[in-house]
Each structure stands twice: as structure tokens, then as C-alpha cells.
Amino acid sequence: MKFETYQTEDFFDELFFENGEPRACAKPLIDTINELPDGELQRRQKTAEASFMDTGITFAVYGNKDGAEKIIPFDVIPRIVDAKTWENLEKGLKQRTEAMNCFLNDIYGEQKILRDKVIPENLIYTCTAFRKECIGLVPQRKIWAHITGTDLVRDKDGTFYVLEDNMRCPSGVSYVLQNRRILKQTFPKVFSKCAIRPVDEYTTKLREMLEYLAPDTTDNPKAVVLTPGVYNSAYFEHSFLSQQMGIELVSGNDLIVKDNKVYEKTTQGLVQVHVIYRRIDDEFLDPMTFRKDSLLGVAGLFEAYKAGNVALANAPGCGVADDKAIYTYVPDIIKYYLGEDNIIPNVPTFVCENPVKMNHVISNIDKMVVKAVSESGGYGMLVGPHATEKEREEFKEKIKANPRNYIAQPMISLSRVPTITENGFEGRHVDLRPYIIQGKDIYVIPGGLTRVALKKGSVVVNSSQGGGGKDTWVIAPDKGAPEQGQSIKFMQHQQQQQQQERRN
Amino acid sequence: MLSRVADSLFWISRYIERAENTARIIDVNLNLMLDLPGEERLFEPIIKSAGCSEIFYNKYTKATAENVMDFLTFDTDNQDSIINCVSIARENARCIRETITLEMWMLINKFYHRLYDKKIKEEMLNNPHNFFTEIKEFCQLYVGIQDGTMSHGIGWNFAWLGRMLERADQTSRILDVKYFMLLPDISMVGMTLDTVQWTALLKSVSAFEMFRKTYANVTPQNVSEFLILNKEFPRSVYYCLEHAERALKNIINHQKTDNGKKSMRVIGKLKSILEFSTVDEIILHGLHETIDEIQLRLSDFNVSIYNDFINCVWKI
């Protein structure tokens, strides 16, 4: 399989220029693939898939009783981001994260931004993710959204836009780590030629952040990961992260609250827990405060949290910041709190709550992507140009019935990455979700999850809708000595950092 | 260690041990069938010792080799079929994926997928001996990998405890059922058929070779002594109890709390009864009665483990 006939077809291609030449950062990879004997790439693709199956990175197919399980489709051709592009993205993501944290502190505190009329008050109070229980609450270290994932897309001219913020413990980072593990086995030689920034640091950063949140009353903080259980579609990730961090994975039944303190039930009695990385939605966290019928959470957890005896990551109430209607105000939020212009632009968005904009959306629905503000995972959305007349009409009615629930964006012509298909390499549309950890400082994983719409022409990348994954390579800034190999440089870099920290 | 995690480790071991025992019994009886042409009732005691006659005869009219193999291996209605044992073990392993090692997980996971392979039944029927050997080897490999890759702390000891209890239970059960089924008529004692069957019994717990090194004659008395009281054979009831006690001691020592003292008494009592009994006394008392008592006490022990470690009344 070779790239000789590969076409970019008037889209922005992450690995190739329009004239068919590979971009500088992609050249070592493209050359390597072109040199492979016939069938070798497909063989490596199969090995990669088998590795997912053997290590159990699978999900059960619902309604299938014969034990069949599937892997999330994976394509071995990575997306590559050059150092300079990444530098700018990283700056932009940090800026956004910082501003959003100010916003959350303000919105559950003094609400200055509402009084100054930067954001309309009713937008907050009609947001389903706004938790009135959290008003007046100050979480440990004043951090709300500790782990976030920001969905980025790239348009025809190569500009990155923020498509969506995910503040409610977004999943997928385990795939980033696994994809990398597998690609290192697939293209070992390319790794030694390029300075690809490693991603393994993520779990160390994650644990550091969790322990940083522990109440000051303890010298020996105990952090755990709280999962809704083995049937959750992200269960693999919960168990993988806790294993990689070396902390326990618990379910609601393993925890108990006494005197506003959280304990885990062990073979030697109760042991106090100080920090919970919870992968359960707000509503299910505590049947005494939120949904009464929740069997997943822990009774009394919210009171313990309010008393400051346990930290929750992410803090309950975070979701208000990733509401799709609040999203349109993020540039204003950044300006308001940081006094800066936003570095990564938003996709222009029409909030249907505004009657003028709603009418514009309805009359241009064939050019728009319409999304329900409270849904995720690619559900409740309409891709106007690809929809049938009947679907469009149905959506118009839905919008008119509940305008607050809908936003619309012009169709972005998503960038593409070459992908293995039955007909050789073809471009497929991708987005990018970098993961960000906010603790003592802000850490952005170099790269993130590249989701790819595997169906020809499709722009919906969600795994529930036929999407798959790719590894994302970020090239290290100092390209001075690529022949030296990334591992040596990485170790030198770490050594320097440690020395510096000791001096500080 | 989280109680739930300890519980899972305990049960993974039990289920894998159970799968191994089932594979052994089937394999030995298939072999025996070749020595006893025309004997059709060989597989009945297997169903009985597995304690699932009712479910079996609801589905099948006759205990033929093929029916029994299918029922004990692939029938998901049979709670203890090999495929169910492996599935439950895997489900438990998935729940504590972060606690066990990658190698342990990959082994269980791969084997689970193998049992759900579409062609696997055909493979079993074409060459049952190879198939059941593969199952036995998988189970032994699991024990070996666990032993060699997991720290021998609290969790590992819970796994060991589970394995020893399951083994004690299986050995006593096999002995009990065979004891009745093997003696259709008192006049047959000591005849060839009898000897062949007692030998098969030994083989089904993989004990024949070791038995031979201790005893010259395959008699019911010798076999019972070996399988209940022998102190060195790793599948004798006594051996299993002694090692269960050791595992429990290790857990208590690791934890430095009072949890487990009650279980210690229960297992200690049972072990000393066997320690100071002779096989003559057992037979005088009645083999079946003795085994009944062992099983009752094993089940008490299980309950006290559960109360001591898994579902304690939570006090601060």
C-alpha cells in the first residue's frame, strides 16, 4: 500500500500539502510506509487490532448474548502536529482553562459576570447542569474542572477552532495512551527518527493533581477512582487509569460516609478517603442530595464534600461551563476575567434562544449543523447538508418548540488524515480532543485523541456513530538533533527540570 | 485491601479451580470408556457429583458421553459449566482489572474469547482429549502466572485461600459420589471392574501416580486414606485445609487487626479432626457421614470468611 495515488481532494490534509507532497513533520512516516513491502502495513494494522482484543480494550455489543465483544475501530496512520502549531494550541487551551475556572468560581460565588451583564442571567438559571446546591461553595484549592477535554476542529484553511468544551470528566484519554503504546510497536523506526513528544506523563500528572486536592488535615492523602461499574462503556478507562496511577478503583458500594467523612470498606475495616476522581455524573453522585433513585453513588457524599473532608474531581456543578449555549460566550468570558483576546477562536454559533438567530437557523438549516445543548456523544444533532428534507423539517419543529435547547453552527469542512480503506489510502475527516489537567499548574497532554469518521464523507466522529481513533503525534520544538532520538532528549529535559525544581 | 476486591480474587480462584476439576473428570471418564466397552452408565455419577442432576435430566433423557460433555462444558444453563466458570472468572477479573497483573488478565481474557469461538465445539468433539488438556493447562497456567507475577500480599492470599477451599470441596465430593456408585453389588469388591474404577477416581484428581508411590494396592480404604488424610498430596482434603489455614494466617499477619480470628477457629477445628483421625475410624464412622461433616464445616468456614472480611459490620 503506497501513497502515490493519494488525493487531498480540496480538503485540508494533516499529512500532505495540496500538491501531494508530504508535510515536513510527516515525511519520515510517509517514506517509511512507502518503503514497506506489499501487505506489510495491513499486517501491522491487524496486529494492532488483535492487541486491543487481547488486552480487553473492548466494549460489549448490547443485546448480543453469545459473549461477542468489539474493539473501537483504530487506524494506524497517525495525525501529526508540528511544534509551532502545537505551541499556539497549548497556549490557547491553557488560557481557556484558566478563564473557565474564574468563571466557575464567580458563577457559584459573587456572580459579578451576571451583574455586569456580560452573560444573560436566565442563560445560567435555565442551564440543566447548573447546580444550585453548589452556590456559595468553594472547592479545595479553588479549582472546579480538574480534568477537561476540548474538542478542536480544523477548517479548510488550516485554522483550528474550538468546537466544544467538555468539563464533566470526559473520557478517551486511555485510548490516547493505548494508541501510543500500539503505534510504538507498529512504527518503531519512525519514532527513532522523529522527536515525538511522549504522552505517558499523563497519569503521573493526574495522580499529582488528585493528591494536591487533599484536605490539609492529612499528610498521607488517599485518592481513589469512583466508577459507575463494569457495565459502563468507559469502564476500561476507569480501571486502566487507576492501575496506571497505582490508586484504588472503587464503586459506590465500596464507600460509606460517617460523620461527614468518606471511608472505603476494606478487609481490615474502614479507611478514610480524601480525594475522589469520580466518573459518575453529578445527578447520580449522592442520592441524598441529587437523584433519589441513584444506586451508583454514595449517600452523604455531598455533605462530606461541603464540609471539606473530601475533594471531588471534577467538582459538582462544573457542567454549567460546557453548556453549548454558554460556549458562545467563552470569548467574552476570557476577555472579562483575563483581559485577553481568545487565542483559539470559537466556531461561529447561533443560539436559537435569540429569535432573530433562530429564524436565521431555520431558513438556512440545509447549511448548518444543529445540536441539542444538553446532549453529547453525537446524539440529538442534525448535519444539515447531509440530512433528508423530512429530517430537516422535523428539526425545525423541534427548534421552534424549545429554542433554548438548540444551537447551530455553519458546516465546517473538517480536515482529513489518510486512512487505510479497502481502496488504499483515502482521506477521512478528523477532530482532536486534547486533555487538560488543572492542579497546581495546568498541563496539556501533547496531542490527545484524534477521532476519525471512518465512513466515507462522514463528519460525525463519535464512536457511537461509526467513528474510530488515531494516534496523535506532536513533534518536539527543538528539532536540532533529531538523530539523537526522543528518549535521550526527554530524559535530559526531565533531569534539567528536576534540578531546577530542587533549586527552587 | 477493598473487601470487594478480596472477594473477587477469592472467587476467580474458585471458579478456575472448578473448571479444571470438571475438565479432569470428563477426560478421565472418556478414557475409562475405552477400557470398559459397553458400560453406559459411566457419566451418571459425574452429573450427580456436580450436583446438577435435575437441570440435566430436564434437558436430556440420557447421560451419554456427548450430552454430558456438552452440558458440563458449554451449557450456559448449567451454572458450573466450564464456559460459565471462565466467564464468571473473567467478569470478576474485569472488575478488579487494576489489581491483577496484565498477564493474568490477558490469559483469562484470551481464554474466554477462545471458548466463545464458533468452531470450538467441533474441536472438542473431534479431539476431546486435546481439548480438555488445553483447559487444564489454561487453569494451571493461571495459577502459575498469578504465583509468579503478583505480589504475595493480602490479595494473593485470598486467591490461594479460595483455591484451597474449592479443591478440598471438589475432592471430597468426587470421593463421596464415587463411593456409592462404584459398589453396585458388594460381591464385586476387589474384582477387576472395581479396581479399574477406583484407579479412574484417583486419576480424575490426578492422584494415581503419587498414590502408587505410597501404596501397593488400589483398595477403597487406601484411596480414601490418600485422598482425605495424606499430608503431602496437594489435592488431599487435609493438605488443602492446612494450606487454607496458612493463607488465612498470612492475611491476619499482614493486616495486624483482629479480623479473621473466628475463621481461624473454624478452620483449625476442622483441620485437627482430620489430623488426629485414622482411615479406620473414618470408615467405622461412615465415609459418607464424614464427608458430609467436612462439607458442612467447609461451608461454615466460607460464611465466617465472609463475615470476617467481606461483609463485616462496619465500625470505625
Give the tens place of pLDDT for each residue, B75-84. Answer: 999 999 999 9
Q: How many domains does chain B have?
A: 2
The verdict on B183 and B252 lying in the same domain is yes
pLDDT tens for chain A, residues 1 to 504 = 889 889 999 999 999 999 999 999 999 999 999 999 999 999 999 999 988 888 888 776 655 555 567 788 999 999 999 999 999 999 999 999 999 999 999 999 999 999 999 999 988 988 888 999 999 999 999 999 999 999 999 999 999 999 999 999 898 999 999 999 999 999 999 998 889 999 999 999 999 999 999 999 889 999 999 999 888 888 999 999 999 999 999 999 999 999 999 999 999 889 999 999 999 999 899 998 888 888 889 999 999 999 999 999 999 999 999 888 899 999 999 999 999 999 999 999 998 888 999 999 999 999 899 988 876 666 778 888 888 999 999 999 999 999 888 989 998 889 999 999 998 999 999 999 999 999 999 999 999 999 999 999 888 888 777 789 999 999 998 755 444 455 666 677 777 777 777 776
* B119 touching A (Cβ < 8 Å): no
Assess if residue A361 is contained within a domain: yes
Same domain, B296 and B229: yes
pLDDT at residue B136 in the model: 95
For residue A169, being part of any structural domain is answered with no
Are B154 and A267 inside 8 Å of each other by CB?
yes
Distant-in-sequence contacts of A287-294, Cβ < 8 A, 24+ apart: A289/A133, A290/A133
Same domain flag for B314 and B182: yes
Does residue A369 lie in a domain region?
yes
Judged by DSSP in three states, A430 sits in strand
Q: Which of B150, B171, B194 is the last residue of a domain?
A: B150
User: In terms of domains, do B53 and B36 share one?
Assistant: yes
The per-residue pLDDT for range B258-312, each reduced to its tens digit, is: 888 899 999 999 999 999 999 999 988 888 889 999 999 999 999 999 999 988 7
Judgement on whether residues B168 and B117 belong to the same structural domain of the protein: no
What local confidence, expressed as pLDDT, does residue A289 receive? 86
CA distance A242 to chain B (A): 6
Domain count across chain A: 1
Chain B residue numbers touching A260 (CB-CB < 8 A): none
Q: Are residues B135 and B3 in the same domain?
A: yes
Q: How far apart are CA A374 and CA A161, in angstroms?
A: 21
The confidence score (pLDDT) of residue A36 equals 93
Residue numbers in B near A251 (CB within 8 A): 4
Interchain contact A251–B (C-beta under 8 A): yes
Any CB–CB contact under 8 A between A64 and chain B?
no
**Residues B116, B245 share a domain:** no
Bridge partners (DSSP) listed for residue A70: A59
Beta-carbon contacts below 8 Å between A and B: 84
Contact status of B201 with chain A (Cβ, < 8 Å): no
Domain that holds residue A406: 348-411
Kindly list the strands in the beta sheet with A261-266, ordered across the sheet, starting from the edge strand earlier in the chain: A255-258, A261-266, A269-272
**E strand or H helix at A73, and its extent?**
none
CA angle B216, B220, B224 (to 5 degrees): 95
From the candidates B2, B254, B258, which should be mutated to test the interface with A, based on the most A CB atoms within 10 A?
B2
Which CATH number belongs to the domain containing residue A354 in this structure? 3.30.1490.270
Beta bridge mates, A430: A452
> With pLDDT > 90 as the criterion, what percentage of chain B qualifies?
66
C-alpha cell at A359: 429564524
CA geometry: angle B106, B108, B114, nearest 5 deg: 100
Residues 6+ away with beta carbon under 8 Å from A65: none
Cβ–Cβ below 8 Å for A265 and B255: no
Of A69, A240, A268, the CB nearest to B259: A268
Q: pLDDT, tens digit, for every residue of B189-212?
A: 556 667 888 888 888 888 999 999
Domain-embedded: residue A375: yes
Tell the residue number behind the cell numbers 475527516, with chain if given. Answer: A429
In the listed set B126, B150, B174, which residue is the last one of a domain according to the structure? B150
Give yes or no for A256 touching B (CB within 8 A).
yes
Q: What percent of chain B has pLDDT above 70?
A: 92
Interchain contact, A239 vs B94, CB within 8 Å: yes
Residue A403 belongs to a domain: yes
Answer yes or no: do B241 and B211 share one domain.
yes
Same domain, B141 and B185: no
Taking CA atoms, what residue in B is nearest to A272? B316
Residue B315 at interface with chain A, using a CB cutoff of 8 Å: yes
Residue of A nearest to B257 (CA): A268
pLDDT band at B3 (very low <50, low <70, confident <90, very high): very high
**Inter-chain touch B98–A249, beta carbons under 8 Å:** yes
pLDDT grade for B173, boundaries at 50, 70 and 90: confident
B259 touches A: beta carbon within 8 Å: yes
- Which of A268, A273, A309 to probe by mutation at the B interface, max B CB count within 10 Å? A268
Query: Is A158 part of any domain?
Result: no
B140 lies in the same domain as B156? no
Cα nearest neighbour of A266 on chain B: B2
Same domain, B46 and B185: no
For B204, the domain range is 152-316
In a domain, A273, yes or no: no
Among B59-68, B170-179, B183-192, name the one with the lowest average pLDDT: B183-192
* Chain B residues within 8 A of A230 when measuring between CB atoms: 91, 94-95
Cβ-proximal residues to A22 (8 Å cutoff; 6+ apart), any chain: A3, A15, A16, A29, A30, A31
Q: Find out whether the peptide bond into B311 is cis, omega within 30 degrees of 0.
A: no
Residues B157 and B138 in one domain: no
Label residue A73 exposed, middle or buried (CB < 10 Å: 0-12, 13-18, 19+): middle
Q: Is A253 near chain B, with CB under 8 Å?
A: yes
Burial-class residue A259 by CB neighbours within 10 Å (0-12, 13-18, 19+): exposed
Q: Do A267 and B310 touch (CB under 8 A)?
A: yes
Cα distances (angstroms) measured from residue A83 to each of A368, A423, A432, B263: 33, 32, 16, 62
Tell me which of B135, B150, B165 is where a domain ends. B150
**A249 touches B: beta carbon within 8 Å:** yes
Query: What mean pLDDT do residues B119-139 have?
Result: 94
Q: CB of B231 within 8 Å of any CB in chain A?
A: no
pLDDT band at B182 (very low <50, low <70, confident <90, very high): low
Nearest C-alpha in A relative to B2: A266
